[in-house]
């Protein structure tokens, strides 16, 4: 191993994610190409690198380093180059020259220990001097933190997150408890923290390790949708992960219960463990639902029967007696649920309910969990719908340094009625925030298809509410006459009932195309998207056709399909700018999806000079421009909203030529194409296929093995989610029963 000390004279390549750097370095007597990981790399900075020379078959001799220590320059030229690099805020090349001309080789000592003297330089005032001093101190602190953690294999990007989270205390805090990496900082997993802890000499039976392992075990179940875990199941799993005994895990679990990190409880005579936030959420949702259900309701002034008749005349649709009953129950109840599959008239019922309330002068709000779902409701119902987050006025609180809801128990929603569509997508924590913002006396109407996939987040909210038997529920099973003409609707209901769909009839909108191998499936899907469907139906191959897949991985998963479809629909060309980010290549014209909620992201509508904030998980748009010089990428959403991403934010985007069925929830597409092949049993389920089919509005095409499709329909195993809401709600509602009596106060018409 050799050590080389010099100044970086040219940055050939630097990856901000992992710190991988290729640069030219000038030492006292040679010019080197150096390769390795640097947390920050800027032209003019000085490093002491430890490594060995290796010969690259294409690029020749390189100095490959494994350790790097930033050192401050001592010569006037070195100091000026360092300051002129832009790494210190408030100093550019001109200011750097002026400072060094004034203080010479003492410049860095002046900045560090006597920053007020910077005001002796023309053009620098006290505020600018403070900025320079603070930036220099931060840079030195980060260099020290980076040097320490590189010895433990922590990547450059992770080191930066550490420093942002803990500042100069990062080293001491992580030395005290390395499991803070997993427990408190986003982007570190337990396995990674465990490796760092082992290098630091933390004992395998350390309480820090066991507690972090318990949190990791609980969070793995939360990620799969559960709100609690049976105690014996959790202890067994964590003991296997840590290679310890169940008794050691159980002892530490009891200690965590005493400190309030977890909550021990009994559900259906079984000892269970909650992360405390989810235990509290279940308690609050139950209490809130009970309060809303028993609130004093303002009676509508309108004649409900006449309002129904007016809706029928204006829409040309006739409501059945059972659908009229569903309207009546929604209008007269504190809380009600309307559930049913496609074509059963949910939208017509919502419109009828709104008409009743509007005639009575009631204020009604309509919302859905996602932006795409809200937009679809607005288009189909004619009434404005927002996201639940926007309804609750989600905002960033600078004082709390976190996102919060403006509408809550202290400042509730000012509506007489709140209607939530696509309610199957609501997870427990969102339901907590929603119900806290609804005051008793406000009607809450939940509309959704309980047979679709449950929420991505933890909880089984809609199904638990229905199955508790304590909330008035209207189940719609009758298909409207107009919907009966669609084989998409008919086959969706057949799939949901465990029956095989009718395939490839004349004048149909539902097709199955048999292919035996995954390569053949890939080729046919590409051909359908790029040529056959656009030619026959006149649809746009990218804008109106959506490929769905049950999984991200494998030959017919979204990752590989996106690469294939990108090259087929939007191939590389000299006219299309590109940006490589991780494993993705983003290209002008690409179809992309926002994969997490970002409520601070700004958007603009240039033609009307309108702007706002908020881009949401599941929003789909098209890349309009990529500016590699300034490091930005612009996406157009909904054909009107322009959003500019800094390159550092590109982890919020994915290609969207193909998306998972889970990501498609709440959306409708003119044409849906889906591969049907072997998938893991937990994904190859009836309700996943049902959810995918119900996303198609005009055409649905399944490509693959009919036997695999039939196996999916036969697989009615819904992935087990541990949830206590149903049991807890049932017990709480029984306790709160009013003088009306249970038989009169509970409606669950399973035949509606």
| CA 377 – CA 392 distance, rounded (Å) | 18
The DSSP secondary structure of 602-626, one letter per residue, reads EEEEGGGTEEEEEE-TT-EEEEEEE
pLDDT for 740 beyond 50: no
Task: Please give the pLDDT value at position 692.
Answer: 95
Q: Are 139 and 132 in contact (CB under 8 A)?
A: no
Contacts of 530 (CB under 8 A, 6+ apart): 541, 568, 569
Task: Please give the pLDDT value at position 749.
Answer: 47
* Residue 745 binned pLDDT confidence (cut-offs 50, 70, 90): very low
Q: How far is Cα of residue 602 from the mean position of the Cα atoms in its chain?
A: 18
Q: Are the folds of 2-151 and 499-714 the same?
A: no
CATH T-level assignment (fold) for domain 499-714: Rossmann fold (3.40.50)
Q: Which of 321-330, 503-512, 668-677 has the largest mean confidence?
A: 668-677
Q: Kindly indicate whether the domain formed by 2-151 is annotated with CATH number 3.30.460.
A: no
Give the tokens for residue 181: 């990496």
pLDDT for 17 beyond 70: no
The dihedral over CA atoms of 491, 495, 501, 507, expressed in degrees to the nearest 10, equals 10
| Burial environment of residue 210 by CB neighbours within 10 A (0 to 12, 13 to 18, 19 or more) | buried
pLDDT for 734 beyond 50: yes
Lowest-confidence pick of 300-304, 497-501, 650-654, 739-743: 739-743
Contacts of 359 (CB under 8 A, 6+ apart): 300, 301, 302, 307
pLDDT for 735 beyond 80: no
Task: Please give the pLDDT value at position 523.
Answer: 96
> What would the 3-class secondary structure string for 278-328 be?
HHHHHHHHHHHHHHHHCCCCCCCCCCHHHHHHHHHHHHCCCCCHHHHHHHH
Nearest to 47 by CA among 143, 159, 190: 143
Lowest-confidence pick of 206-210, 320-324, 623-627: 320-324
How many residues would you count in the chain? 752
Task: Please give the pLDDT value at position 165.
Answer: 78
pLDDT for 646 beyond 70: yes
332 is in an annotated binding site: no
| Burial environment of residue 604 by CB neighbours within 10 A (0 to 12, 13 to 18, 19 or more) | middle
The domain limits of the chain are 2-151, 164-276, 295-482, 499-714
Task: Please give the pLDDT value at position 185.
Answer: 73
Q: How far is Cα of residue 293 from the mean position of the Cα atoms in its chain?
A: 31
| CA 434 – CA 428 distance, rounded (Å) | 10
Mean per-residue pLDDT, 330-343: 91
346 is in an annotated binding site: yes
pLDDT for 378 beyond 60: yes
Q: How far is Cα of residue 63 from the mean position of the Cα atoms in its chain?
A: 41
* Residue 741 binned pLDDT confidence (cut-offs 50, 70, 90): very low
Q: Where are the alpha helices (DSSP H) in 517-675?
A: 518-527, 533-537, 558-569
Task: Please give the pLDDT value at position 651.
Answer: 86
Q: Which of helix, strand or coil describes residue 41? A: coil
| CA 408 – CA 395 distance, rounded (Å) | 12
Task: Please give the pLDDT value at position 752.
Answer: 37
Nearest to 516 by CA among 635, 646, 373, 677: 677
Q: Can you give the pTM of this predicted structure?
A: 0.77
Per the model's pLDDT, the better-predicted residue between 309 and 252 turns out to be 252
Lowest-confidence pick of 112-126, 561-575, 685-699, 737-751: 737-751
Task: Please give the pLDDT value at position 736.
Answer: 61
Q: Which of helix, strand or coil describes residue 581? A: strand
Q: Which of 70-84, 301-315, 424-438, 505-519 has the largest mean confidence?
A: 424-438
Nearest to 687 by CA among 715, 663, 668, 667: 715
Task: Please give the pLDDT value at position 739.
Answer: 40
Mean per-residue pLDDT, 496-500: 92
Task: Please give the pLDDT value at position 738.
Answer: 44
| CA 113 – CA 136 distance, rounded (Å) | 11
**How many other CB atoms are there within 10 angstroms of residue 629's CB atom?**
5
| CA 124 – CA 250 distance, rounded (Å) | 61
CATH T-level assignment (fold) for domain 295-482: Rossmann fold (3.40.50)
* Residue 737 binned pLDDT confidence (cut-offs 50, 70, 90): low
* Residue 399 binned pLDDT confidence (cut-offs 50, 70, 90): low
CATH architecture of 164-276: Orthogonal Bundle (1.10)
Task: Please give the pLDDT value at position 570.
Answer: 94
b/e per residue 82-103 (b: at least 16 CB within 10 A): bbbbebbebbeeebbebbbebb
Lowest-confidence pick of 143-157, 235-249, 401-415, 646-660: 143-157
Task: Please give the pLDDT value at position 587.
Answer: 95
pLDDT for 143 beyond 90: no
| Mean pLDDT computed over every residue of the chain | 87
Question: What percent of the chain lies above the pLDDT cut of 70?
Answer: 94
Per the model's pLDDT, the better-predicted residue between 732 and 130 turns out to be 130
371 is in an annotated binding site: no
């Amino acid at each position: 191993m050799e050590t080389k000390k010099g100044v970086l004279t040219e940055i050939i390549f630097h990856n901000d994610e992992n710190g991988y750097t290729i640069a030219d370095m000038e030492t006292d007597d040679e010019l080197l190409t150096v390769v390795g990981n640097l947390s920050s790399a800027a032209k003019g900075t000085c490093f002491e690198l430890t490594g060995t020379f290796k010969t690259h078959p294409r690029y020749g001799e390189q100095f490959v380093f494994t350790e790097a220590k930033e050192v401050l320059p001592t010569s006037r030229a070195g100091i000026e180059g360092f300051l002129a690099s832009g790494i210190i805020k408030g100093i550019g090349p001109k200011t750097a020259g002026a400072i060094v001309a004034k203080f010479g080789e003492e410049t860095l000592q002046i900045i560090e220990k006597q920053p007020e003297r910077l005001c002796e330089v023309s053009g620098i005032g006290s505020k600018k001097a403070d900025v320079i001093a603070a930036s220099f101190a931060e840079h030195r602190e980060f260099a020290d933190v980076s040097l320490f953690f590189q010895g433990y294999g922590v990547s450059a990007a992770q080191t930066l997150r550490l420093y942002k989270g803990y500042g100069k205390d990062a080293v001491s805090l992580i030395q005290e408890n390395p499991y803070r990496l997993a427990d408190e900082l986003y982007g570190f997993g337990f396995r990674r923290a465990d490796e760092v802890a082992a290098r630091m000499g933390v004992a395998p039976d350390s309480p820090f390790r066991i507690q972090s392992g318990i949190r990791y075990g609980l969070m793995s179940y939360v990620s799969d949708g559960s709100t609690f875990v049976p105690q014996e199941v959790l202890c067994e799993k964590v003991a296997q992960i840590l290679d310890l005994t169940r008794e050691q895990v159980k002892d530490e679990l009891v200690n965590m219960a005493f400190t309030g990190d977890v909550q021990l409880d009994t559900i259906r005579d079984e000892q269970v463990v909650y992360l405390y936030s989810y235990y509290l959420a279940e308690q609050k949702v139950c209490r809130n639902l009970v309060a809303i259900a028993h609130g004093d309701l303002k009676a509508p002034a309108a004649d409900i029967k006449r309002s129904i008749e007016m809706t029928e005349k204006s829409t040309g649709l006739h409501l059945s007696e059972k659908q009229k009953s569903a309207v009546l129950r929604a209008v007269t109840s504190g809380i009600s649920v309307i559930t049913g599959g496609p074509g059963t008239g949910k939208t017509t019922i919502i419109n009828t309910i709104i008409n009743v309330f509007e005639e009575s002068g009631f204020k009604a709000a309509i919302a859905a969990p996602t932006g795409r779902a809200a937009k679809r409701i607005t288009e189909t119902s004619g009434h404005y719908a927002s996201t639940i987050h926007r309804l609750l006025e989600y905002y960033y609180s600078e004082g709390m340094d976190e996102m919060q809801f403006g509408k809550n128990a202290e400042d509730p929603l000012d509506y007489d009625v709140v209607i939530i569509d696509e309610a199957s997508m609501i997870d427990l924590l969102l339901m907590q925030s929603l119900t806290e913002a609804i005051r008793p006396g406000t009607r809450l109407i939940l509309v959704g298809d309980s047979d679709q996939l449950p929420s991505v987040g933890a909880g089984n909210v809609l199904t638990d509410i229905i199955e508790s038997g304590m909330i008035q529920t209207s189940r719609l099973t009758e298909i409207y006459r107009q919907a009966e003409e669609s084989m998409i609707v008919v086959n969706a209901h057949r799939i949901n009932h465990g029956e095989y769909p009718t395939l490839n009839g004349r004048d149909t909108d539902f097709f199955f195309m048999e292919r035996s191998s995954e390569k053949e499936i890939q080729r046919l899907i590409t051909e359908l998207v790029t040529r056959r469907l656009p030619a026959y139906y006149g649809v746009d191959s990218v804008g109106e056709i959506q490929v769905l897949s049950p999984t991200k991985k494998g030959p017919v998963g979204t990752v590989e399909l996106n690469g294939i479809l990108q090259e087929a629909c939007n191939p590389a060309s000299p006219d299309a700018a590109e940006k490589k980010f991780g494993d993705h290549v983003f290209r002008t014209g690409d179809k992309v999806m926002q994969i997490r909620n970002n409520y601070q992201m700004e958007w603009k509508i240039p033609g009307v000079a309108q702007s706002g904030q908020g881009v949401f998980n599941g929003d789909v748009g098209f890349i309009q421009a990529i500016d590699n010089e300034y490091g930005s990428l612009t996406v157009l959403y909904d054909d009107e909203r322009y959003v500019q991403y800094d390159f550092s934010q590109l982890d919020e985007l994915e290609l969207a030529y193909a998306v998972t069925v889970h990501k498609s929830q709440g959306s409708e597409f003119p044409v849906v194409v889906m591969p049907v092949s072997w998938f893991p049993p937990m994904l190859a389920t009836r309700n996943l296929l049902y959810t995918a089919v119900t996303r198609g509005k005009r055409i649905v095409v399944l490509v693959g093995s009919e036997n695999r499709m039939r196996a999916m329909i036969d697989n009615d195993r819904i992935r087990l989610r541990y949830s206590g809401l149903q049991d807890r709600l049932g017990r709480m509602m029984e306790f709160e029963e009013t003088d009306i009596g249970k038989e009169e106060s509970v409606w669950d018409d399973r035949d509606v």
